[in-house]
Amino acid sequence: MKRVVRLLAVIAAATSALGGTAVAQEQPDLAQASVAPAAQTPNVVGAPRLSSSQPNAIRGQGLEANRVWVMGEVRNDGSSPAYNLTVTARLLTDSGTVAGTANQAFAFLGPGDSVGYRVEVRNAAAYERADLSIAASSSGFASFAVLPIDWVKNEQVKDSQSHLRYEFSGTLGNSDGRPVSLNAVYVWFLDDQDRVVWVERTYIPNTLAHGDSTTFSVRTPRDSENPGVSGITQVRYYAAGQLP
């Protein structure tokens, strides 16, 4: 199945159901989450308009027990790209005290596109809920081109202890008439309730000329480290490169 994808700081939602039987996801330890209403940019002509899906927070287990991942999708419903996009997540106690915060930055998100985010909060104190804020600019330091991705496979792999993870492999191509560099690819995995349970990214260091392509692969943690992995039923992806 073929999907056009964009990336570098942006991700166009392209959804494909995975083969096999879906496994019910273990409930994340963060039951409540909210999106800060201030996350949207002003509704003016030519400005990006940003919003997020309900963030999903999962506390890592085992060797990842000191991490909380806050994950979701950001969408640009404006008529122009968003540049220098920053997603900031906060973990809050029941009294509103900040128990931990972190952010993730994206260089670019095109109009009508979505990208998966994974904000990693380390050594967070006890918390009850999470909120999210989004900021971006209507201009940037560079221009970007959307790049197509051909889906090769999304494979479930088990280790000797029967812990499972997913490995996604694809081919990134350049259909633009110009060479592209600093190519970034984002892949995000969702459960059957459309909750993002993992986001992974990779960068292609070499410049791609028009018509060139290259293969890449990313993988999730094991379900023993991230309980949400056992409930994966969908994958979405996006890629883009910087123009000269």
* Pair 36, 85 in one domain: yes
Q: Which of 137, 154, 173 is the last residue of a domain?
A: 137
Q: Report pLDDT for 13.
A: 35
* Pair 13, 65 in one domain: no
pTM, two decimal places: 0.81
* CATH number, position 121: 2.60.40.1620
* Pair 151, 217 in one domain: yes
* Pair 200, 122 in one domain: no
Q: Report pLDDT for 164.
A: 95
- The Cα–Cα gap between 189 and 195 comes to 8
Q: Report pLDDT for 152.
A: 87
* Pair 11, 40 in one domain: no
Q: Report pLDDT for 160.
A: 84
Provide block-wise average pLDDT over 10 residues at a time, the chain (244 residues): 35 32 32 38 66 95 95 95 95 94 94 95 92 92 89 90 94 93 95 97 93 96 96 94 92
* Pair 146, 238 in one domain: yes
* Pair 150, 116 in one domain: no
* CATH number, position 161: 2.60.40.10
From residue 202, alpha-carbon distances to 16, 32, 129, 160, 169 in Å are 20, 30, 30, 27, 11
* Pair 52, 79 in one domain: yes
Question: Residue 206: helix, strand or coil by DSSP?
Answer: coil
- The Cα–Cα gap between 106 and 115 comes to 9
Domain count, the chain: 2
- The Cα–Cα gap between 112 and 54 comes to 18
* Pair 40, 127 in one domain: yes
Q: Report pLDDT for 30.
A: 33
> Which residue range is the domain that position 195 belongs to?
2-25+142-242
* Pair 20, 112 in one domain: no
